[in-house]
Structure 1
């Protein structure tokens, strides 16, 4: 393992939040008025996510392109970027001997879904850190935490596919035809490890220690720090750990825990005997992993900001075994159908320095107070996190309804999203740089940011 400890002393800058909105003619503005937070908004971070695969054609082999686009992001008003350095292949774009380097990624180009090869030998993450330092732009590194491989029309990648000794690490899914490895089920997309396994966790911890050693890095954001889905994980290993947690054996497994027809958000009136305890156990697994991960990162660099990306849809996020709320938030009082009284004990917000909230509502749902509005996702997250961590929220401006809405609606939604988010949480977050580049929407997001922060001359 690389163990060169490179400490960084940095000022902590609060973080940014985001929200999306639509044309005033197609959506009424909110009836309420928020307090004027212009002065406070000046100091709130504005964070842009940079997905590895989507942006690889520009960045894989060009430091010049990295500096160019980070300059554009800075000019648009962003104060930080999150750089994806462990994409869904499970391989990496930073220096470590835990796992192999990324050799190619699949991306949508003009000719269709194609391979983009990396031939450069310089350190990908370090290039972003260097550019960020030159531009006074904070740089966070993100990893796809419990992903061990990826399958696509271009081929199979990652440790799960090339290392037979790690096949047991693949999550076991509950399907209509029984319990099967994610590798056996097939299909395209990310292939998850089993988060319950201690050897899997140690593998990730070792990787994080190498990442934390980068001088000049502002922080680490863990993406996909979760189970694959509600159908994961049903291995013998996890069954034994669940029984240890209960203190007794479960004879009717998996029937007493889950059935393959159960879907998050549409639970049957009668649940399996151990279903709610199973959700509680899974939340504890992820909570304890993050607790240990934070300790390992901080042991390398105590000044590093440690955080996580999660979806803002808390009401169904039990599907992936995650309780991102504060342990002081009583989940069962609001969601008694699926949460036990002890579920709140495994809220992990107090472990985090920063939580990025995916406020991924449609461009016609910018304002509001509840889930599935951009603003509502953020305000609900603030209520549940209770000040335990800095909350940065914002939209995905290129997927879902954003991919089909007309440009005028999208542009207005981006502009309105900045204020809608920053008025209710700690900062603004936008996914992804590639969307701004493809439609050349830099001036649009710049207008949104300029509308909610004061200029240097006070205009």
Structure 2
């Protein structure tokens, strides 16, 4: 894989600024001038709304936030494809998968289908869902193994690849919300079937929680394996949808690079050949690795410290709390099976353009390119001319 310079265009951050076609054309022009190779365009946002008219989902213009009402009757995905056509830029449609509602506004598909909603640990005994991923995040997640959820998400992916002239699909939030979800009756039944035994102490055999501090129980390693296998199963089905339409379509995903803590998301983005030596990982955890399913993986190296030396001098808990360390961790876990692209959160470098440039160069030196999140910061910080790709 050649070096890829990927720019993410988040709809919630850029939707109002890109209302005018001239602004879309300007973005395409700036991206080309800066040697961007791929644009990631939101097709389905974190609250489950789509930027295109979907047969299945609500359109972004139906959100309660009035600033997006101007998109009524319009198709953000198609308009971006239209203005990029012939430019040489590859367009990848981003699909936020298991995030299906806004808990603050009480809107989204999850409010039509409350039975889809993730049941968090504290509700496990009463089996009554609460809305938010956590106390500070409005995103409401659905249970990845609910059969209706799976069918719904695959239908939307299929709708996108059938309808639009795109170069690929990237998955985001293809995960559990956190360590506290999902503890529904459905997940319990599926887990008991997975391990071949009934649980006497549910959910304490998996973990106990005191003052929001989880302590792993005896079955946590198998639980981590089970959750990661569930996500891998969905990924394989999503890949089949994409590649059946056109085997040349790119199939990619965004994940956080903090592998040693990724039991929180219930995902093993490493290779099947990678055997991590972590206290929470079962002997068979490696079988849940899904790296081989993708054409490339974007790992979020979302740290202010660029080098390991900086992280150490700033007293970070581990070397991978730096862009350099995160890249090392990413390559170790993916084990050379597919290309890795280091990804940066530009807000980490607010008022520090030199650190931003250093981070970009490190990603390009140590991985198969760089992904920049998000376009809005290049605009706000006026960094387009500082992009040295």
TM-score > 0.5 by shorter chain: yes
Once residues 72 and 184 of structure 1 are traced to their aligned partners in structure 2, the CA distance between those partners, rounded to angstroms, is 37
Q: Is 1:386 aligned to residue 345 of structure 2?
A: no
- In the superposition, relative to structure 1, how do residues 46 and 262 fare at CA in structure 2: closer, same or farther (>3 Å)? farther
| Counterpart pick for 1:141 among 90, 93, 98 | 93
Between the aligned partners of 1:282 and 1:185, the Cα distance in structure 2 is 17
Partner of 2:371: helix, strand, or coil?
A: strand
Count of matched residue positions in the alignment of Structure 1 and Structure 2: 378
Q: Could you say if the C-alpha distance between residues 48 and 313 of structure 1 is closer, same or farther in structure 2, counting changes exceeding 3 Å?
A: same
Runs of 4+ residues deviating >3 angstroms: 104-107, 176-180, 184-188
1:371 and 2:320 aligned = yes
Could you tell me how far apart the structure 1 residues matched to 2:140 and 2:15 are? 21
**Pair 1:300 & 2:245 matched:** yes
For the pair 1:430 / 2:389, whether they are aligned, the reply is no
Q: More displaced, 321-330 or 131-140? A: 131-140
Match of 1:290 in 2: 235
Tell me which structure has the larger Cα radius of gyration: 1
Gaps of 5+ in 1: 1-13, 15-42, 108-113, 450-459
Tell me by how many angstroms 1:278 deviates: 0.7
- Separation of aligned partners in 2, 1:44 and 1:186: 37
Contact 1:283/1:321 (<8 A) preserved: yes
Q: Report deviation, 1:361.
A: 0.6
2:119 aligns to what?
172
On the 8 A contact 1:329/1:386 being kept in 2, the answer is yes
CA spacing shift, 1:55–1:243, aligned 2, 3 Å: same
Equivalent position SS for 1:330: coil
Residues 229 and 320 in structure 1, CA contact (< 8 A), matched pair in contact too? yes
When residues 192 and 425 of structure 1 are mapped into structure 2, their CA distance, relative to the original with a 3 A threshold, is: same
Residues 245-260 of structure 1: pairs in structure 2 closer than 5 A: 245-260=194-209
Q: Which whole-Å CA distance do the structure 1 matches of 2:130 and 2:84 have between them?
A: 38
The corresponding residue for 2:272 is: 327
Distance 1:62 1:262 in 2: 49
Trace 1:373-452 onto structure 2 (pairs within 5 A): 373-398=322-347, 401-403=348-350, 407=351, 410-445=352-387, 448-449=388-389
Cα pair distance change 1:63/1:261, threshold 3 Å: farther
Counterpart in 2 of 1:6? Answer: none
CA contact (8 A) 2:60 2:68 kept: no
The 5-angstrom pairing of residues 15-414 of structure 1 reads 43-59=2-18, 61-103=19-61, 115-152=67-104, 155-161=105-111, 163=112, 166-175=113-122, 180-183=128-131, 189-261=138-210, 268=215, 271-331=216-276, 334-335=277-278, 337-362=279-304, 365-368=305-308, 370-398=319-347, 401-403=348-350, 407=351, 410-414=352-356
TM-fit CA distance, 1:215: 4.4
Contact persistence 1:280–1:339 (CA under 8 A):
yes
Structure 2 segments unaligned to the other structure (5+ residues): 310-318
> Structure 1 residues 95-104 or 282-291, which shifts more?
95-104
Give the structure-1-normalised TM-score: 0.78
Matched residues in 2 for 1:96 and 1:66: separation? 22
Quick one: distance in 2 between partners of 1:69 and 1:247? 54
1:184 offset after TM fit, Å? 8.3
Structure number with higher relative contact order (C-alpha < 8 Å, ≥ 6 residues apart): 1
- Backbone CA RMSD of aligned residues: 2.2
| Worse-matched range after superposition: 310-319 or 133-142 | 133-142
Offset of 1:134 from its aligned partner?
3.1
Q: Any conservation in 2 of the 1:95–1:210 contact (CA below 8 Å)?
A: no
Q: In the alignment, which residue of structure 1 is the partner of 2:313?
A: none
Secondary structure at the counterpart of residue 85 of structure 2 = helix
Separation of aligned partners in 2, 1:353 and 1:51: 22
Shift of the 390–184 alpha-carbon distance from structure 1 to 2, 3 Å rule, reads closer
In structure 2, what is the Cα distance between the partners aligned to 1:379 and 1:215?
Answer: 36
Q: Do the aligned partners of 2:132 and 2:138 also contact (CA within 8 Å) in 1?
A: no
Q: State the 1:315 CA deviation.
A: 0.8
**CA distance 1:141–1:118, change in 2 (3 Å):** same
Q: Deviations over 1:354-409 (max 9, x none)?
A: 211111011xx1123941111221232122112222211121011xx545xxx2xx
Verify the 8 A CA contact 1:394 1:429 in the aligned structure 2: yes
Using the TM superposition, give the Cα deviation of residue 136 of structure 1 relative to its aligned residue in structure 2, in angstroms. 1.4
Distance 1:85 1:393 in 2: 22
